[in-house]
Amino acid sequence: MGGDGRYVLNGDWAVSPPGTYEAAGTHVVYTRDTGPQETLQAAGPTSHNLLLQVLLQEPNPGIEFEFWLPQERYSPFQARVQALGWPLQQPQPREVEPQPPAAPAVIPARTPTLAPGPSAGPPPPGPGDPLR
């Protein structure tokens, strides 16, 4: 999704075909086969923010990603990360334990209310009804 909120590909419940898409001032190459694997590659640099969203319809099979910063931006970032004691490469979990589905909300039953109508009594006799 671009910074303007519009989907570049695979948005609004539609699957885009593989191909090259323009987004954030660069070309994004999208590949997918008949299997579950999809790949996005953007040589960059990007001129605007891009938001990567993942819609999982099964347990998470693992998502891998990597990105590079320009050297002039990477050196200060690297120094700061090392000063904080953070690793420059963080392991990504490959398996996620499936969570049990949330219990459905219980809606209390309500007794239907009837609108007041004409007084309840026997209907008036019709032309073929015997008199009572």
Where along the chain do its domains lie? 19-84
CA dihedral 71, 76, 77, 79 (to 10 degrees): 120
Average pLDDT over residues 80-85: 83
Contact 40, 28 (CB under 8 A): yes
Q: Is the pLDDT of residue 61 over 90?
A: no
Average pLDDT over residues 60-87: 77
Contact 39, 65 (CB under 8 A): no
- Going by pLDDT thresholds of 50, 70 and 90, the confidence category of residue 132 is very low
Quick: pLDDT tens for 14-46: 989 999 999 999 999 999 988 778 888 988 888
Average pLDDT over residues 48-75: 79
CB-based contacts of 64, cutoff 8 Å, min separation 6: 92
With a pLDDT cut of 70, the percent of the chain lying above it is 66
Quick: pLDDT tens for 89-128: 655 555 555 555 555 555 555 544 454 555 555 555 556 5
